Amino acid sequence: MSKKTEPGKVIVINAGVLKVLKILLKLLISLVSAIAGGVAVSFFVPYYEYGAYGMLNNYSISGAVTFVIIFYLMLRKKLLTRIFTGIGRFNQNYIMRSIGVEIFVANINSFLIAIIVFWISGFIGKNIITALIWAVFAYYVVLQLLTRKKIGYIREIADGILEISKGNLDYKVAEMGNDELRILAENINKMSVELKRKIEDEKRAEQTKNELITNVSHDLKTPLTTIIGYLTLVKDKTYENEKAMDDYIEKAYSKSLKLKKLIEDLFEYTKISNGVIKVHKSDVNLVELMEQLLGEMSVIAKQNNLSIESDYSHPEIIVNIDSDLIARTFENILSNAIKYSYKELSGKILVKVVKDDSKATIVVENQGDTIPTEILPLIFERFYRVDKSRSSKIVGSGLGLAISKSIIELHGGTIYAESEANKVRVCVVLNETSFRGGFNPR
């Protein structure tokens, strides 16, 4: 026979009874608070009677006042909530924002608890030495409890500094709280980020210096060796006739010019990179500047079976630039376009200048071998060659586009390259422009 399980009994309390219980609970809490208030007053203020039989004294009055205040607050929930909310805001806005204030408040609270423990212990044990020992112990325990989080956070910051000092610059100190310790943690993290950046910059600078020395040594050594070879032949008179000697001298002279151009480009690039060259800006009509430059470069283009065409969106586009440096930039870009254009058939180099809002975009397009997308950003690096061979038959220092990039960046502009379908475009964007006039195709 299975036993029948009795259903659980549910006690239902009437709403009126529940209300009475709540009031009784509030009265009990108020009574306990009143007794505590009377005891606290008795510790600080001497006993004094106001009437017969000792019923009316300062202890009973303080207890009664405490009882009334606590009971009133218990009945006014919203007011009590506002008081605690205000205390919390004051704590967050003032106390928790200063480590000094936090420590001061923790000491005050610990001292008050120690006084209460001293009084209770003295009242119970009637021994002031024992009471003092208990008070000191209570002060220490309460102070440790109130400050343990801050002490732990200080240790965490110290451990973080130690970890960073070992070379782990990716380590981040936790940023907690609103006081000076948070500011300290933030500054430590900023310091590690800045230190890491500087170390990486130094590594890149060292690598760049080594690459520069290697590249310059190679590019200087090759023409210099050739020059010495030809001059040695002339010096030792190991030529067949006067025509051969003139040919050797001509080749040595040609290599000397290449060496001179390399040294000049290297010197110019170094000055620009190190900020030695200052930019002297003025308002310049970009169309006039480009027309003058294209007139000079068209002669070299014709010698290479090429032609230069131009297209301007406006007849006058005013830009705030250093005209000499910008002319040098586009001279390098056009020279590069001429060098790497197809010369078997009559080709053309297209130069477009477009004004768009407050920017001017200059595009130089030539017909040549398509450059892979991943290589395009590298063509502006010094000594970079797309053919990855330093024995290229195309004459050049390998610094032209690097110089152009540095000049454009000094002007706050951008330079980039595009390539597709046997066409290469170098695009330059300049800011601070204005324009007058209408469309002027050419």
Q: Tokens 């009509």 identify what position?
A: 285
Where is pLDDT greater, at 22 or 1?
22
* Integer CA distances (angstroms), 298 to 167, 348, 397, in order: 57, 10, 21
Residue 217 sits at φ, ψ, to 5 deg, of: -60, -45
Q: Which of 206, 254, 213 is nearest to 382 (CA)?
A: 213
Local structure of 376: helix, strand or coil: helix
Q: Which of 309, 326, 306, 299 is nearest to 433 (CA)?
A: 326
User: How would residue 429 be classed by pLDDT, with cut points 50, 70 and 90?
Assistant: very high
| Average pLDDT of span 331-353 | 86
- pLDDT winner (highest mean) among 76-90, 112-126, 313-327: 313-327
Q: Tokens 């910051």 identify what position?
A: 157
Q: What is the pLDDT of residue 277?
A: 73
277 secondary structure, DSSP code: S
The token pair at 116 is: 């209460």
- Does the domain at residues 182-272 carry the CATH identifier 3.40.50.970? no
Count CA atoms within 13 Å of residue 314 on its CB side.
19
Q: What is the pLDDT of residue 181?
A: 85
Question: Taking every pair of C-alpha atoms in the chain, what is the biggest distance, in angstroms?
Answer: 146
User: How would residue 125 be classed by pLDDT, with cut points 50, 70 and 90?
Assistant: low
Instruction: List, for residues 4-43, the tens digit of each pLDDT value.
Output: 445 555 555 566 666 677 777 767 776 776 666 666 655 5
Tell me the residue ranges of DSSP E strands in 137-292. Answer: 282-285
Distance CA 19, CA 436 (A): 85
Least confident of 198-212, 239-253, 266-280, 300-314: 266-280
pTM across the whole model:
0.49
3-state DSSP helix/strand/coil percent for the chain, to nearest 5? Answer: 60, 15, 25
Cβ proximity of 287 and 315 under 8 Å: yes
Distance CA 150, CA 160 (A): 15
**Residue 75 CA to chain centroid, in angstroms?**
54
Give me the CATH topology for the region 278-436.
Answer: Heat Shock Protein 90 (3.30.565)
Q: What is the pLDDT of residue 384?
A: 62
Distance CA 160, CA 190 (A): 13
Q: What is the pLDDT of residue 177?
A: 77
Full strand arrangement of the beta sheet holding 282-285:
282-285, 316-321, 433-436
State yes or no: pLDDT of 164 exceeds 60. yes
| Average pLDDT of span 269-291 | 81
The token pair at 416 is: 């980039």
Q: What is the pLDDT of residue 391?
A: 45
Instruction: List, for residues 292-327, the tens digit of each pLDDT value.
Output: 999 888 888 888 888 999 999 888 888 888 888 898
Full strand arrangement of the beta sheet holding 306-312:
306-312, 347-356, 359-367, 423-430, 414-420
Q: Which amino acid is at 349?
A: I
| Average pLDDT of span 148-175 | 88
| Average pLDDT of span 78-93 | 61
Distance CA 365, CA 369 (A): 12
Considering the chain, what is the average pLDDT of its residues?
77
The DSSP secondary structure of 204-236, one letter per residue, reads HHHHHHHHHHHHHHHHHHHHHHHHHHHHHHHHT
State yes or no: pLDDT of 392 exceeds 60. no
Q: What is the pLDDT of residue 427?
A: 93
User: How would residue 400 be classed by pLDDT, with cut points 50, 70 and 90?
Assistant: confident
State yes or no: pLDDT of 182 exceeds 70. yes
| Average pLDDT of span 131-157 | 87
| Burial class of residue 314 (count of CB atoms within 10 Å of its CB; 0-12, 13-18, 19+) | buried
